[in-house]
Amino acid sequence: MKKYLLLIIFCTAGNFIMASPKSNLFTKTTASDPVKKIVKAIAKSNVYDLSATNNIAPPNSPQNLRYEKLLNIASVEKLTELATKNKNAVVRLYAYKALINKIKNIPKEMVDQFNNDTSIINTINGNTAGQVPLNSIAKGFLY
């Protein structure tokens, strides 16, 4: 009788553990979440590519390809979260650009946030590298 009771307890405990919200069995991991993978790659590169916007180079640079994937894969909600809360300024800028391309009507609070964001970001424009404030690039997305 004790054996059956222990067996029932172990089976029941296992089901509770598997169904717990912190269990990774029912959630996507970073490796299987394409948006997280793209964001991680953008952050690792940590450079905003101006080449495609200035027609200096073809828009197939690694960062621009990542941006296109982000634009196509990420939901509006995920882009909003990335644009407003991500610690990496380049990720925030690419997410903001993608969000503008997806919904057009950006909330005024978010526009103000980007207009006031003076974080310095690394840029590349053809073969020229530089550093500029984030807001100087973000303002150009709306006009």
DSSP state of 121: E
How far is 95 from 101, CA to CA, in rounded Å?
Answer: 10
Q: What is the pLDDT of residue 87?
A: 97
pLDDT, mean of residues 104-124: 94
- Give every strand in the sheet of 48-49, ordered side by side: 48-49, 120-125, 128-133
pLDDT of 104 reads 78
Q: What is the pLDDT of residues 15-35, one digit of tens each?
A: 544 444 544 444 445 557 999
Per-residue pLDDT at 51: 81
Distances (CA, A) of 27 to 12, 20, 23, 141: 21, 11, 8, 34
The residue-averaged pLDDT of 121-142 equals 92
Q: Is the pLDDT of residue 58 over 50?
A: yes
pTM (predicted TM-score)? 0.76
